[in-house]
Amino acid sequence: MIRIKRIYEKYSGQDGVRVLVDRLWPRGIRRENAKVDYWMKDLAPSDQLRQWFGHDPGKWPEFQRRYRMELETAPAHWTELLRLAEKKDITLLFGAKNQRHNNAVALAEFLQQRRQYP
């Protein structure tokens, strides 16, 4: 199962493997307290795409399209995460305030579409 959670939310044993998918470390979170198993910054959108998007809901469909294109050009980064999700529950962690329009949501949808089992 792939879950999504804001890194500022309380840790839960239900989280499984916790994977931070932001390029930048979230402000105000100490690394030793974050309970992050993996920090996969290469899965984050490019700086250019991230800055263009700015978490503007009006740009969400275009952001998703552009982000998918970026992901498709680097399958080595996301296939590793997909293999992990086939074996264990994972939680994609993000730092954005907008919980509906962020790269973790887009990445989870992308991964769900590529899963080899229901």
Query: How open is the CA angle 97-30-17, to the nearest 5 degrees?
Result: 75
Q: What percent of the chain is modeled with pLDDT above 70?
A: 97
Of 53, 29, 113, which Cα lies nearest the Cα of 78?
113
User: Residue 21 in contact with residue 2, Cβ under 8 Å?
Assistant: no
| Alpha helices by DSSP H, the chain | 47-53, 60-72, 75-87, 103-114
Give the span between the Cα atoms of 53 and 94, in whole angstroms.
Answer: 15
Query: Which pLDDT belongs to residue 116?
Result: 61
In this predicted model, what pLDDT tens digit does every residue of 49-84 receive, in sequence order? 999 999 999 999 999 999 999 999 999 989 999 999
In this structure, the number of other CB atoms found within 10 A of the CB of residue 15 comes to 18
Give the span between the Cα atoms of 66 and 61, in whole angstroms.
Answer: 9
Which range of residues forms the domain containing residue 16? Answer: 2-114
Total count of domains within the chain: 1
Q: Which residues contact 10 (CB under 8 A, 6 or more apart)?
A: none
Residue 32: which pLDDT band, with cuts at 50, 70 and 90? Answer: confident
- pLDDT over threshold 50, residue 118: no
The rounded mean pLDDT for the chain is 94
Residue 11: which pLDDT band, with cuts at 50, 70 and 90? Answer: very high
